[in-house]
């Protein structure tokens, strides 16, 4: 997701300032320690990490008592789109405003800048069944695949309603290789993170209605599978691929929108039975979900923010939609993924930084 509008940020900040202090902080969040230093020279973190909060200890079993949140890289403009390459044992993610992708290697956590530069102001990334990187490019308003020999293939630049606004996040269905992606249009609203449309100054809606799409792996045909969310953002499949979750950040531009994560039944190459899976409201405060991933138990891990301390970070929801855990970060968490050889390291792109924490679960999928 791109930066939200300044008006929304002001509304959230003013709302936070006006609310009674007791209503602003979750009981677990009240245990917040003084601001911590995430730098390399910081003193050791006392276990357990107070910023990994089990709201429901019986169900949030992924929390480890002797692991700590670590900032492994910082200095970016807006970090997004982490994806793990299982064979290469590296993480790729986007720094959208700086028009580049970065790479972190597993063996020593070394970070290479300008892994892809320019990147087309790319946002979401994933890898297909052959290990090829697929990226959503804001500037070019398309979805592309990077080929092993170094070439680039444009997979989709327009849908049935015309050219895209600015594709945002993308996942691949392993059974048939279908590529599913969202187009909320944030990259078309500002040059800072893409290619601003002239209409952006007067309308929150870019070229076409925001929607979720699927690229057929055999024919390359692009189908619109739903436009129910106001601004569909992050998306992921359940472990059994029978459910598609979609984060809706429409509240950034549509006052009537709700800050929720949708759940759709997957019906072959389409979707059915839309419903609200969870609300992002917590203790009277409403932020927004962005990137999302499922673990092997079906819990949904949600990058969230735009509220402040005690809310910004990762919210974990059980399969029934109940919030069971929090990972509090000092920055807005835009996206996340599970990585590492055993898929038990949670990587979080948040504001200007990349964070990592070991967890006692595994990602349901490889990226």
DSSP string, 192-228: GGS---GGGGT-SS-SS--EEEEE-TTT--EEEEE--
> 333 pLDDT band (50/70/90 cuts)?
very high
Residue 274 is assigned to a structural domain of this protein: yes
pLDDT per position as a tens digit, 58-87: 999 999 999 999 999 999 999 999 999 999
Q: What is the pLDDT of residues 220-264, one digit of tens each?
A: 999 999 999 999 999 999 999 999 999 999 999 999 999 999 999
DSSP labels for 56-76? Answer: STTT-TT--TT---EEEEE--
Q: Examine residue 364 and state whether it is found in any structural domain, yes or no.
A: no
Distances (CA, A) of 283 to 16, 24, 28, 59, 83: 11, 6, 11, 20, 32
Number of structural domains in the chain: 1
> pLDDT value at position 206?
73
DSSP class of residue 31? Answer: G
Q: Are 302 and 294 in contact (CB under 8 A)?
A: no
- In angstroms, the CA 304 to CA 148 distance is 34
Confirm whether 39 is domain-assigned. Answer: yes
Domain-embedded: residue 365: no
Burial of 46: CB neighbours in 10 Å, binned 0-12, 13-18, 19+: exposed
Which carries the bigger pLDDT value, residue 360 or residue 3? 360
Each residue of 23-66: pLDDT tens digit? Answer: 333 444 444 556 788 877 778 888 999 999 999 999 999 999 99
pLDDT at 207: 86
Read off the tokens for 32: 């917040």
Please give the distance of CA 41 from its chain centroid, rounded to a whole number: 29
Instruction: Look at residue 205 in the predicted model and tell me its pLDDT.
Output: 66
d(CA 245, CA 84): 20
Compute the mean pLDDT over every residue in the chain, rounded to the nearest whole number.
90
Q: Is residue 19 part of a domain?
A: yes
Q: What is the mean pLDDT of residues 313-334?
A: 98
- Residues 135-186 pLDDT 10s: 999 999 999 999 999 999 999 999 999 999 999 999 999 889 999 999 999 9
102 vs 21, more confident: 102
Kindly report the CATH number assigned to the domain that includes residue 161.
2.120.10.30
Distance CA 5, CA 201 (A): 12
Nearest to 123 by CA among 72, 176, 66, 184: 184
Domain range enclosing 174: 6-358
Mean pLDDT, residues 269-291 taken together: 97
Write the pLDDT tens digit of every residue in 181-212. 999 999 999 999 999 988 766 666 678 999 99
pTM value is 0.90
Tokens read off for 183: 């187009």
Which tens digit of pLDDT belongs to each residue from 124-138? Answer: 999 999 999 999 999
Helices (H) and strands (E) in the chain — how many of each? 2, 29
Say which residues have a Cβ less than 8 Å from residue 156's Cβ, sequence separation at least 6.
Answer: 142, 143, 164, 167, 179, 181, 213, 215, 220, 222
Bond from prior residue into 112 cis (ω within 30 degrees of 0) = no
């Amino acid at each position: 997701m791109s930066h939200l509008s300044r008006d929304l940020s002001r509304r959230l900040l003013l709302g936070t300032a006006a609310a009674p202090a007791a209503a602003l902080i979750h009981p677990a969040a009240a245990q917040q320690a003084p601001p911590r230093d995430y730098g390399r020279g910081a003193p050791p973190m006392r276990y357990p990490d107070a910023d990994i909060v089990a709201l429901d200890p019986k169900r949030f079993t992924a929390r480890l008592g002797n692991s700590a949140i670590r900032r492994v890289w910082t200095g970016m403009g807006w970090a997004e789109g982490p994806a793990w390459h299982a064979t290469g044992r590296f993480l790729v993610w986007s720094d959208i405003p700086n028009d580049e992708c970065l790479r972190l290697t597993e063996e020593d956590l070394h970070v290479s800048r300008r892994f892809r530069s320019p990147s087309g102001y790319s946002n979401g990334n994933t890898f297909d069944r052959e290990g090829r990187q697929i990226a959503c490019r804001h500037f070019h308003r398309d979805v592309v695949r990077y080929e092993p020999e170094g070439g680039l293939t444009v997979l989709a630049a327009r849908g049935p309603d015309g050219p895209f606004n600015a594709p945002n996040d993308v996942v691949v269905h392993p059974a048939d290789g279908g590529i599913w992606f969202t187009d909320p249009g944030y990259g078309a609203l500002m040059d800072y993170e893409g290619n601003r449309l002239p209409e952006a100054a007067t309308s929150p809606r870019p070229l076409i209605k925001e929607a979720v799409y699927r690229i057929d792996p055999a024919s390359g045909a692009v189908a619109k599978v739903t436009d129910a969310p106001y601004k569909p953002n992050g998306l992921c499949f359940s472990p059994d691929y029978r459910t598609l979750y979609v984060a809706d950040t429409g509240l950034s531009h549509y006052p009537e929108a709700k800050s929720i994560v949708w759940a759709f039944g997957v019906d072959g190459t389409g979707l059915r039975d839309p419903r609200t899976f969870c609300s992002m409201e917590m203790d009277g405060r409403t932020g927004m979900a962005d990137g999302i991933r499922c673990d092997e138990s079906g819990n949904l891990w949600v990058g969230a923010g735009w509220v402040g301390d005690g809310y910004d970070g990762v919210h974990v929801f059980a399969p029934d939609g109940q919030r069971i855990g929090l990972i509090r970060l000092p920055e807005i968490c835009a996206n996340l993924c599970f990585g590492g050889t055993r898929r038990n390291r949670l990587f979080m792109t948040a504001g200007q930084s990349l964070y990592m924490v070991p967890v006692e679960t595994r990602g349901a999928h490889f990226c």
